[in-house]
């Protein structure tokens, strides 16, 4: 029987656990989470078979795979306490959207031979185990960022597990991952929060802008309903890439402003057409 562990059983950890519970019948899932409102329903659903609220590295001995599903800022104590309890064959992976910082912690904890970074490109603006669901991973890209000391066997085994969940694995270096994640996730969150704030500031006491809000605005600001604390941590952990791409976006916005100010319809249409052509390939 396979034993798979989770450090954190919230939205992402819970969705991965649900998916594996449904697809791997001969598997024993264990988890740590310091929040009772995550742990209790996961146990009640029998998605995990054993759980603890106080972390103990020994609890994860004999796990074939351990998913680190907690904030990078909170990871170091867990990594330090895991050291000495992992076999040479254990795969340690994470689900974080920034890799630079976690790789630094992994190196400091001397766990590079076990570590294959991971980032499921899936999520919602909600959080917590209660909002997790197994289909969250289906069809989603799942980026793997192996440590240079991780064996090809570990990468292959994790890749097979990702495919079992219905996700599409792709392998990137940590540096390339962080630039891509800034472009397709972190900067869009900054823009969504900023757009919502612009409308909040410009709206009058009659709330006409909010009341007029239709599909387009709702689509563009949906992710502004995400957890502010979590996105604060993500943006600061990847700040160099985020700032670089925000500078580029500001330059593009200034160009668009100039085109509109000049009344240059052809140039405006060309910019829209280039964007549409690229977006239609998604």
pTM to 2 decimal places? 0.85
pLDDT tops 80 at residue 137: yes
pLDDT-based confidence at residue 26 (cuts at 50, 70, 90): confident
What is the number of helices (H) and of strands (E) in the chain? 12, 8
pLDDT per residue over 209-218, tens digit each? Answer: 988 888 899 9
Domains and CATH numbers, the chain: 2-172 (3.40.50.720), 177-279 (1.10.3660.10)
Query: What is the spatial order of strands in the sheet that 91-94 belongs to?
Result: 50-52, 27-32, 2-7, 65-68, 91-94
146, pLDDT greater than 90: yes
124, pLDDT greater than 80: no
- How far apart CA 161 and CA 171 sit, in angstroms, is 14
Distance CA 224, CA 231 (A): 10
- The confidence score (pLDDT) of residue 71 equals 84
What is the pLDDT, as a whole number, of residue 28? 94
Give the pLDDT confidence of 75-87 residue by residue, as tens digits.
889 999 998 899 9
Q: What is the mean pLDDT of the chain?
A: 94
pLDDT value at position 127?
86
Strand order in the sheet with 141-146: 116-120, 141-146, 168-171
CA distance 149 to 204: 58
The pLDDT confidence band at residue 1, using thresholds 50, 70 and 90, is low
Given this model, what pLDDT does residue 73 score?
78
pLDDT tens digits for 222-255?
999 988 988 998 999 999 999 999 999 999 999 9
pLDDT reading at 59 higher than 70: yes
């Amino acid at each position: 029987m396979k034993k798979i562990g989770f450090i954190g059983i919230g939205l992402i950890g819970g969705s991965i656990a649900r998916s594996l519970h449904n697809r791997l019948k001969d598997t024993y899932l264990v988890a740590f989470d310091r929040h009772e409102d995550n742990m209790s329903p996961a146990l009640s659903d029998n998605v995990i078979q054993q759980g603890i609220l106080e972390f103990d590295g020994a609890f994860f001995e004999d796990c074939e795979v351990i998913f680190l599903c907690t904030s990078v800022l909170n990871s170091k104590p867990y990594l330090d306490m895991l050291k000495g309890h992992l076999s040479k064959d254990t795969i340690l992976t994470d689900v974080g959207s920034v890799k630079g910082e976690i790789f630094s912690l992994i190196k400091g904890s001397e766990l590079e031979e076990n570590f294959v970074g991971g980032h499921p490109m899936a999520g919602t603006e909600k959080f917590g185990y209660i909002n997790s669901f197994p289909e969250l991973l289906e069809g989603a890209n799942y980026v793997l960022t192996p440590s240079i000391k991780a064996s090809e066997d570990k990468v292959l085994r994790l890749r097979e597990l990702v495919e079992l969940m219905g996700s599409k694995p792709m392998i990137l270096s940590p540096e390339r991952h962080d630039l891509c994640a800034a472009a397709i996730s972190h900067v869009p969150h900054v823009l969504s929060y900023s757009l919502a704030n612009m409308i909040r500031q410009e709206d009058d006491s009659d709330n006409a802008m909010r009341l007029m809000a239709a599909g387009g605005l709702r689509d563009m600001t949906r992710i502004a309903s995400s957890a502010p604390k979590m996105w604060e941590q993500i943006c600061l952990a990847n700040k160099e890439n985020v700032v670089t791409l925000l500078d580029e976006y500001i330059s593009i916005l200034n160009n668009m402003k100039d085109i509109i100010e000049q009344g240059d319809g052809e140039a405006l249409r060309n910019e829209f057409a280039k964007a549409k052509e690229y977006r239609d390939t998604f």
